[in-house]
C-alpha cells in the first residue's frame, strides 16, 4: 500500500535541508519495498512559494486538506518565517500530527517554531544550538541534546547543518532500508567514505 510523506512548503524554504530525505524517499533503489512511499508537498495555500535558492514551487495540497491519518510523516524544513504568524499554521498541523501519533521531522528554524509552540518541552530534541532555542523562551532546555539529529516519541529534530543525519533519522522512522543499506548510505554521504558506495553497489547484485 502506498504511503505518503508530506513536505511542508513556505517562502524562504531552505533548499539544502530536505534534499537527501526527499530523494531517498522517492527513489526506490535499495529500498525494502520499492514504490511504497511518495512525497507530496503541502502549503498554507496553493499559491507558489519561493525557496531561499529562488525556486518557485506549487504545493500539491493545503494544510486544511491534510489529515494526519492520511500521512506517514510531516517534514518541516528550515525557513526564515518560523518566528512569525505566517508559520503558525504549520506548528498547529505539527501538533495535530503528534497528537495523532503520526511522526513529524523538523530541522533548523522549524525546531525554533516547535519550541515556541511548546512542542519541545517534554521531548528530547536538538536544533542549531542550545542558545538558538533558549532565545524563544521555551521550557524544554533540560532535554536539549548537542547532537546532529535526535528522535523522541515521533518527533525528529535536527541542526540545519546536518541534512544527512536528518535524512537518516527519517529513513529509520519510515523503515525504508535494511540496516546494512542505511549504514552504507550514511558512510557514503555523511563520512564521504568510498566503502559506502561499494557496499551499496553490492546490494544491487
- Residue numbers of the domain that contains 8: 3-174
Model pLDDT for residues 102-138, shown as the tens digit of each residue: 999 999 999 999 999 999 999 999 999 999 999 998 9
Assess contact for 74 and 43: CB atoms under 8 A. Answer: no
Q: 188 and 115, same structural domain?
A: no
User: How far lies 124's CA from each of 48, 103, 152, 158, 183, in Å?
Assistant: 34, 14, 6, 11, 24
Rounded to 10 deg, the angle between the 179-189 and 194-203 helix axes is 150
Q: 170 and 92, same structural domain?
A: yes
pLDDT at 205: 63
How many domains does the chain fold into?
A: 2
Q: 143 and 63, same structural domain?
A: yes
CATH number reported for the structural domain that contains residue 98 in this entry: 3.40.50.880
3-state secondary structure of 13: coil
Q: 187 and 168, same structural domain?
A: no
Q: 168 and 80, same structural domain?
A: yes
State yes or no: is 108 an active-site residue: yes
Q: 187 and 142, same structural domain?
A: no
Q: Strands across the sheet with 104-107, in order?
A: 61-62, 37-43, 3-9, 73-76, 104-107, 155-158, 149-152
Tally of residues, the chain: 205
Q: 107 and 83, same structural domain?
A: yes
Q: 107 and 191, same structural domain?
A: no
CB atoms within 10 A of CB 159: 23
Q: 182 and 153, same structural domain?
A: no
Q: 182 and 133, same structural domain?
A: no
Rounded mean pLDDT for each run of 10 residues along the chain, 205 residues in total:
94 98 95 94 98 98 97 98 97 98 98 98 98 94 98 98 98 96 97 95 81
Q: Which residue out of 73, 108, 117, 120 is catalytically annotated?
A: 108
Amino acid at each position: 500500500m502506498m504511503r505518503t510523506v508530506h513536505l511542508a512548503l513556505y517562502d524562504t524554504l531552505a533548499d539544502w535541508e530536505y534534499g537527501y530525505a526527499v530523494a531517498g524517499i522517492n527513489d526506490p533503489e535499495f529500498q525494502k519495498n520499492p514504490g511504497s512511499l511518495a512525497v507530496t508537498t503541502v502549503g498554507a495555500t496553493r499559491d507558489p512559494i519561493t525557496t531561499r535558492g529562488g525556486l518557485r514551487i506549487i504545493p500539491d495540497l493545503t494544510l486544511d486538506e491534510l489529515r494526519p491519518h492520511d500521512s506517514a510523516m510531516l517534514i518541516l524544513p528550515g525557513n526564515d518565517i518560523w518566528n512569525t504568524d505566517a508559520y503558525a499554521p504549520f506548528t498547529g498541523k505539527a501538533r495535530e500530527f503528534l497528537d495523532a501519533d503520526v511522526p513529524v521531522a523538523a530541522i533548523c528554524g522549524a525546531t525554533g517554531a516547535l519550541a515556541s509552540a511548546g512542542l519541545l518541552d517534554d521531548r528530547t530534541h536538538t536544533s542549531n544550538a542550545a542558545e538558538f532555542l533558549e532565545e524563544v523562551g521555551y521550557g524544554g532546555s533540560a532535554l536539549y541534546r548537542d547532537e546532529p539529529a535526535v528522535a523522541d516519541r515521533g518527533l525528529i529534530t535536527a541542526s540545519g547543518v546536518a541534512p544527512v543525519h536528518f535524512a537518516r533519522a527519517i529513513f529509520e522512522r519510515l523503515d525504508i532500508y535494511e540496516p546494512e543499506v542505511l549504514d552504507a548510505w550514511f558512510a557514503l554521504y555523511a563520512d564521504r567514505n568510498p566503502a559506502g558506495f561499494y557496499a551499496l553497489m553490492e546490494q544491487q547484485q
